[in-house]
A and B are shown apart, each in its own frame.
Chain A
């Protein structure tokens, strides 16, 4: 990898990533609209939304919420920075989990039943995907002999060839993390009414903007990991990421929302099963 000053890398990660994320979200909305025979908003609509939200009055239900929204963003940014610096990926994963936990705790700090239910469902989502994510890294370690992101090319061949079953398991995890159907339990980007806006219901104005920006970082992070499955050739990696992106949106538009017990069973049986199988043959 090219040696760049770590501070410049970190700054680049902090300031460039949200724009890529915002672009992806905009593209998502556009594609979704086309699938639903609508024209859809302009590509930069997410950015306009966030700018508008930032200028609104800071209405909250309590002050604790704000702290958790801030930590949610801070941990997510830290995640992206550590990954950009080529640091230990297991640590990155842990910090990603803490970003989500901050969101959960923020949702639980308000006395709103909808937000509470959303938070508890988010906990169940974490329970169902966290083991798969760690097993993915175990697979990466067994191939590369290192947990470091900078050693991602160590084996010299694309990870996807060694981890063919972990890749689909990761895509399932990504569906949960992107809050796409059939797994959009805790909150949803669409106007479906179930628990209203769930975990993010009681956030508004600038604090909702913080959650949106965090989502930009997250979406970048997830597709960055997808690209890493074919890191030997960046164009191929990007192509895979693009196909996955399209499939996620397609899935979101053709699937109905299921229940969280179903998700837990499905992820632990199918997702975890795939990941364990893949890891097992790497051990032998």
Chain B
């Protein structure tokens, strides 16, 4: 068979088969090699695909006829789940999807409409690389994590084999989703991601986990119904089920439906609750959902639709909705002390940022959207893996409890700090993306304002968190933590990836992303202003930054090494420091009494508290969705 057809098949079905093998393999001794092998195969497959270059692939018509049957099967499973967990909402949404699906089968398909099943263009290749390189690392991390989790997790949880089946299979489903061009195929993969996330979130089978899994299922089924409606509308309007066709025709109603579906999957306001609930699952699940799979499916679709959205009033509303999510989710993150929840809000905010860039649709914005998708995936994966390790180490995910983490888990702490720094500081990619986004939205005042407020808020919660974990006590005795090799290796590779990505971000932008987004636009289509912005961003000179870093890092290293033990003193506490105190917050106060000082972080609950902010933020977000549909009919 030709490599063209083989690689997508390997990337889609490979993970499913490997997942099955892992599930069937008895005991860790058999499981571990299969998991490692599957991870390496998926990575290799994606790299080969990238070397192969873009192509499209049609599938035999007879094979395509099977699609409705698979669709029916999946919907039957969803409805069955609805019965099993006794939720009318799931059954209702399942039946609704079933009805739309059957209706779109009834519609006459135009004969001449030739739809390639898979469209592996540059965007798809980038997405496959993200999914199939970062995803397997998370899977490898899960080996060590789940070994421990089996011992300490809730007793009633599902088997670890099943967990790995869904975890690895998820990667195949995502690969299929980003490569498929036929909307019917896309819907199938879409539903499968929903099912995978339902199973993974509910893994623990505790009350919390089941509640969260149910919420994820119904919100994403709602999105699934919207996507199916888009398929129906697309076929009835142009007789074609091709995604490329849909974008080219630019019929707004199906586009709006797909945007709605993307909002649910990317957990944009008002649909954020499922992603916040998803943190009850074991950490590899959160890492996977937040970085490479699931939520990225939503933003991927909007980036894919960008040419259809660009310049329309609806596109502007989508951008405003994204900007609103960015600002509000960043604000809510400030009030959280639960580490995983801060990460979740930050994910939601960054997805909003990517949606803004996609919907604005200028060359610079498009480039920013792709850069942000890549760098967010890698940084967020690393951060979740760190929080997972910290949680297993100290038994808490509360940021206040992470005080003095440097002493207990120095390696993880340093990796986590670099991960957080990579979310906001130069020379890392997220900052470049944010910078480009700010310049790209310059002609949309409302989006710009929300973006500015959001980015100021972002800095607050990251600096608070970094400050909390890096605190070093007086003459600390560092205790190197005991972390399984697989967990350490996965984090190590991701860390190297972040540093490598930071080194190549500017050349990557100039050589790959910039030409790629240039080809998306014809000269006449966009204003000269957006060309100017793109060109001036391309002339950005990075040498002073790297020169500075090359100079400062060794100098600091030498200075730090020159500090002798006798140079280190206790901090000032407005009283004599207590001798032999464990922490340096203890000091002698009036009448020689020992006193301990404790400083908590600011959480600004009256201003940014989740409880009262969510209510009106959701109301505005719902209104924005109505406006999105409203402007079409205007």
The interface of chain A, by Cβ under 8 A from chain B, is 10, 57-64, 66-67, 70-71, 74-75, 77-78, 81-82, 85, 87-88, 90-91, 94-95, 97-98, 101, 104-105, 107-117, 119-120, 123-124, 126-127, 130-131, 134-135, 138, 141-142, 145-148, 196, 201-202, 276, 279-280, 283
- Give min CB distance, B394 to chain A, whole Å: 18
Q: Which residues of A contact B540 (CB under 8 A)?
A: 87-88, 91
B584 at the interface (CB under 8 A from A): yes
Bound Cα distance from A157 to B562, whole angstroms: 53
- Give the residue among A62, A119, A135 with the most B Cβ atoms within 10 A: A62
Tell whether, in the assembled complex, residue A105 and residue B466 are in contact, meaning their CB atoms are under 8 Å apart: yes
Partner of B445, one of A10, A64, A77, A279: A279
Whether B544 lies near A110 (C-beta < 8 A) is no
Q: How many residues of chain B are within 8 Å of chain A by beta carbon?
A: 63
A108 touching B602 by the CB < 8 A rule?
Answer: no
Closest to B555 in A: A70
Q: Is the interface of A mostly helix, strand, loop or mixed?
A: helix
The 5 closest A-B pairs by CB, nearest first: A108-B467, A112-B571, A130-B456, A62-B472, A116-B599
Asked, given contacts A108-B467, A111-B571, A280-B445, whether A94 binds B474 with beta carbons under 8 Å apart, the answer is: no
Within B453-491, the residues touching A (CB, 8 Å) are 453, 455-457, 459-460, 463-464, 466-468, 470-474, 476
A138, B541: Cβ atoms closer than 8 Å? no
Q: Which A residues are in CB contact (< 8 Å) with B473?
A: 62, 111
Q: Is the CB of B563 within 8 A of A60?
A: yes
Closest Cβ of chain A to B379, distance in Å, is 16
Known: A66-B556, A123-B460, A134-B438. A115 touches B571 (CB 8 A): yes
Say yes or no: A104 contacts B445, CB within 8 Å: no
| Chain A residues positioned under 8 Å from B568 (CB to CB) | 59-63
Whether A59 contacts B448 in the complex (CB less than 8 A), given A90-B439, A109-B467, comes out as: no
The answer, yes or no, to whether B65 is at the interface (CB within 8 Å) is no
Q: A91-B540, A120-B601 are in contact. List 19 more A-B contacts (CB 8 A).
A: A61-B568, A62-B473, A63-B472, A64-B470, A67-B556, A70-B555, A75-B548, A81-B548, A85-B544, A90-B439, A108-B463, A108-B467, A109-B472, A119-B467, A127-B457, A127-B459, A127-B460, A130-B456, A131-B456
| B574 nearest CB across to chain A (Å) | 8
Find the B residue at minimum CB distance from A122: B463
Minimum C-beta distance from B557 to chain A (A)? 9
CB of B521 closer than 8 Å to a CB of A:
no
Inter-chain contact B452/A134, CB cutoff 8 Å? yes
Tell me, rounded to whole Å, the shortest Cβ–Cβ distance linking B488 to chain A. 22
CB distance from A127 to the nearest CB of B (A): 5
On whether the beta carbons of A130 and B459 are closer than 8 Å, the reply is: yes
CB neighbours of A142 from chain B (8 A): 442
Asked whether B442 lies within 8 Å of A66 as measured between CB atoms, the reply is no
The answer to whether B556 and A276 have CB atoms under 8 Å apart is: no
The CA-CA distance from A101 to B423 in the complex, in Å, is 13
| Given A111-B471, A111-B583, A130-B459, A201 and B572 contact (CB-CB distance below 8 Å) | yes
Cβ-closest chain B residue relative to A282: B445
Closest approach, in angstroms, between the C-beta of B425 and any C-beta of chain A?
A: 5
Which of B472, B544, B567 is close to A10, meaning CB atoms less than 8 Å apart?
B544
